[in-house]
Amino acid sequence: MTQPMPGKPAEDAENELDIRGLFRTLWAGKLWIIGMGLAFALIALAYTFFARQEWSSTAITDRPTVNMLGGYYSQQQFLR
């Protein structure tokens, strides 16, 4: 193990995370945090109202053949 140098102070206290200080800082800036969250929510809401919808769907249907109906009815027997 290495021994600390006699003239050098221990740096253990500097590496610790100050949770209480972090929460105090966040609590002091709570209005700014809430304001920014509200601003982004309003921007997102405005975007949903003014953005043009770009979506489409296409469905192709045709009449089933006898072979398709046979497979369908055989599967229905297993589901009962």
Residue 61 lies in a domain: yes
In a domain, residue 1? The reply is: no
The reply to whether 12 falls in a domain is no
State the chain's mean pLDDT as an integer: 84
How many domains is the chain partitioned into structurally? 1
Answer yes or no: pTM beyond 0.75: no
User: How far apart are alpha carbons 53 and 31 in whole angstroms?
Assistant: 34
HSE-CB of 6 using CA atoms within 13 angstroms: 0
Using the predicted structure, report yes or no on whether residue 10 has a pLDDT greater than 60.
Answer: no
Whether 11 is in a domain gets the answer no
Question: What's the mean pLDDT in 25-39?
Answer: 97
Cα 71 off chain centre by = 42
Domain that holds residue 56: 19-79
* Residue 54 lies inside a defined structural domain of this protein: yes
DSSP characters over the chain: -PPPPTTS---TGGGS--HHHHHHHHHHTHHHHHHHHHHHHHHHHHHHHHSPP---------PPPHHHHHHHHHHHHHH-
Q: What number is the average pLDDT over the span 36-63?
A: 93
Mean pLDDT over 64-75 rounds to: 78
